[in-house]
Amino acid sequence: YSLQDQFDNLEKHTQWGIDVLEKYIKFVKERTEIELSYAKQLRNLSKKYQPKKNSKEEEEYRYTSTRAFLATLNEMNDYAGQHEVISENMTSLITAELTRYVQELKQERKSHFHDGRKAQQHIETCWKQLEASKRRFERDCKEADRAQQYFEKMDADINVTKADVEKARQQAQLRHQMAEDSKAEYSSTLQKFNSEQHEHYYTHIPNIFQKIQEMEERRIVRIGESMKTFAEVDRQVIPIIGKCLDEITKAAESVDHKNDSQMVIEAFKSGFEPPGDVDFEDFTQPMKRTVSESSLSNSRGDGKSEPKFGSKSKGKLWPFIKKNKLMSLLTSPHQPPPPPPASASPSAVPNGPQSPKQQKEPLSHRFNEFMTSKPKIHCFRSLKRGGAGPEDFSNLPPEQRRKKLQQKVDELNRDIQKEMDSRDALTKMKDVYIKNPQMGDAASVDHRLAELGQNIEKLRLEVQKFEGWLAEVEGRLPARGEQPRRQSGVYEAQNASGVNSCAQDRESPDGSYTEEQSQETEMKVPATDFDDEFDDEEPLPTIGTCKALYTFEGQNEGTISVAEGEMLYVIEEDKGDGWTRIRRNEDEEGYVPTSYVEVYLDKNAK
């Protein structure tokens, strides 16, 4: 039974070895899951902080510091990829291989122990046969001994007949012969058992145990190799991870603070020149003010000539308030002008129909209303960040406006090129259809070609419009050496005729406006609330275009002069009063007689 005990112990030990192998497989599998989860979290982290496409956040990544951060995010993505490689290699080289090996090991172990049990059962069967032969031999010997004793007793008894004695003798001989046969069988069985037992203990069982030992040693070697592979899989990605870290270090070393500062300067410079020195205001001199309906005059008791906003001497109003909007607040009533007479009297105005009438208010009342009202004014910085601005970007400072207009022109040119490429491709297709009618109908592409032609024409008109604005802005940008002059919130206006025609004046390059030299008046206006802010009011959108049929001088208040053949934008169509409101550019707009222009309204305009 010692063999049985050892056999059972071996069976338990080999099962424990398989359990250890399966436990290691489970460990590696959980490690691969952790690597995958870690890689997924790293990728999500990198994706979370990636700049969104076509957003302002994407524009911020032009600085070296943010580009370095973007490079870090990309390298973290590659870093996550290496952890995915670790997971994949461990799964293929360890988990999958060991799982297959465990199945083979179980089959081999089962086969070996089946052979062992079979050999054990065979030797046990031989032993049982030997025991049965031995017991039979013992029984026959006892039976023969009893038969001999009975024969001798019968032979000694004189009262027993000779036949009974002969019968007892024959019975004794028979039993003795059976005992001899049993002895011979027992001897043969014993020899056979001894031979089988020797074969069992010295041949079969050692062979089986040797196979089990080899199987167990292969299992031990295999789990050791798997542990080595476990380390090698990690070691293989270390150089690539090191490269990722080196790239992050390289990106960090590429941060250039000087370059970033210069980019901020280029991005936010407005094009305005710094204000000049503030003039001394002598309040000891008597000052008299007369208020008229359309102008401000200043009595000059000291006889000194005041500074002029002429073509040579340029002054600045508030940097972020357009001249026209300020003047319209001072001179134009809030309510729209009443409709002119149905039939214009040519004699009333030398150059044509009467201008729209406007109720006049005392200018002092209008100025007080302007100073006490709170128009919609936003900080320049907040307007830059968001919000829809006018189409010509007139809400931006000159330099920023120039950049935006240039970007728009480039974008439109790209769209034109794309449309032209499509048109060229369709034209070639049409030529192919004409040469080979079986390939398609040439007339089927005419409609699309016409649409492309219209689109290209529209885009070219848009480019001309934006190029005009761009040329206008580039003409206004100040020279570096120009020294503006600050008027301490004092602006000069012309007399009544100058005020009425101020809508036709152009802004000076430094953002102020110019006036023709004439009799000037001055008025003190606090500028503290306007130094860093500007009016966010959007201009009226254009609803079409018009062509001037005749020249119109536009000398009256609210009108605008036009030249024959000039193309302008319509911002308000005739309401039945005979006047149409038009715009030449962002600074010049007003009314002209409807009969003087030919209007082309845009059907898509709201």
Q: DSSP assignment of 112-133, as one string?
A: HHHHHHHHHHHHHHHHHHHHHH
Whether the pLDDT of residue 442 is over 70: the answer is: yes
Task: Tell me if 40 is assigned to some domain.
Answer: yes
Question: Do 469 and 552 belong to one domain?
Answer: no
Whether the pLDDT of residue 509 is over 70: the answer is: no
Determine the average pLDDT of the residues in 189-218.
90
Outline where 522-570 has alpha helix (H). none
Question: Do 548 and 466 belong to one domain?
Answer: no
| CA 526 – CA 487 distance, rounded (Å) | 11
What is the three-state SS of 232-283? HHHHHHHHHHHHHHHHHHHHHHCCCHHHHHHHHHHHHCCCCCCCCCECCCCC
Task: Tell me if 311 is assigned to some domain.
Answer: no
> Would you state the pLDDT for residue 42?
95
Question: Do 429 and 578 belong to one domain?
Answer: no
Residue 410 to residues 262, 271, 413, 454, 469, Cα–Cα distance (Å):
24, 21, 5, 20, 14
Task: Tell me if 378 is assigned to some domain.
Answer: no
Q: Write down the mean pLDDT value for the chain.
A: 75
Whether the pLDDT of residue 244 is over 90: the answer is: yes
| Burial degree of 455 (CB within 10 A; 0-12, 13-18, 19+) | middle
- Total-model pTM: 0.48
Whether the pLDDT of residue 72 is over 60: the answer is: yes
Last residue of a domain, one of 430, 455, 474: 474
Question: Do 82 and 161 belong to one domain?
Answer: yes
Last residue of a domain, one of 261, 290, 324: 261
Q: Report the number of distinct structural domains present in the chain.
A: 3
Task: Tell me if 369 is assigned to some domain.
Answer: no
Tens-digit pLDDT profile for residues 80-133: 999 999 999 999 999 999 999 999 999 999 999 999 889 889 999 999 999 999
Tens-digit pLDDT profile for residues 308-352: 333 333 344 444 444 444 444 333 333 343 343 343 333 333 444
Nearest to 531 by CA among 577, 587, 492, 486: 486
Task: Tell me if 515 is assigned to some domain.
Answer: no
604's tokens: 């898509």
Task: Tell me if 370 is assigned to some domain.
Answer: no
Tens-digit pLDDT profile for residues 262-282: 888 887 877 777 788 888 888
Whether the pLDDT of residue 385 is over 90: the answer is: no
Question: Do 461 and 592 belong to one domain?
Answer: no
| pLDDT above 70 coverage of the chain, percent | 70
Question: Do 551 and 449 belong to one domain?
Answer: no
598's tokens: 């030919």
Tens-digit pLDDT profile for residues 555-576: 777 888 899 989 999 988 888 7
User: For position 590, which CATH number holds?
Assistant: 2.30.30.40
Task: Tell me if 553 is assigned to some domain.
Answer: yes
Determine the average pLDDT of the residues in 139-154.
88
Q: How many CB atoms lie within 10 A of CB 516?
A: 12
538 pLDDT tier (thresholds 50, 70, 90) = low
What is the three-state SS of 438-465? HHCCHHHHHHHHHHHHHHHHHHHHHHHH
Question: Do 464 and 585 belong to one domain?
Answer: no
> Would you state the pLDDT for residue 557?
79
> Would you state the pLDDT for residue 301?
40
> Would you state the pLDDT for residue 388?
58
Which domain range does residue 162 map to? 6-261
Question: Do 164 and 251 belong to one domain?
Answer: yes
User: For position 215, which CATH number holds?
Assistant: 1.20.1270.60
> Would you state the pLDDT for residue 604?
64
391 pLDDT tier (thresholds 50, 70, 90) = confident
Determine the average pLDDT of the residues in 43-68.
84
Last residue of a domain, one of 445, 474, 503: 474
| pLDDT above 90 coverage of the chain, percent | 30
Task: Tell me if 323 is assigned to some domain.
Answer: no
DSSP-derived secondary structure letter, 507: B
Whether the pLDDT of residue 220 is over 60: the answer is: yes
Whether the pLDDT of residue 366 is over 70: the answer is: no
Whether the pLDDT of residue 288 is over 90: the answer is: no
For strands 296-298 and 521-524, give the pairing: unpaired
> Would you state the pLDDT for residue 537?
52
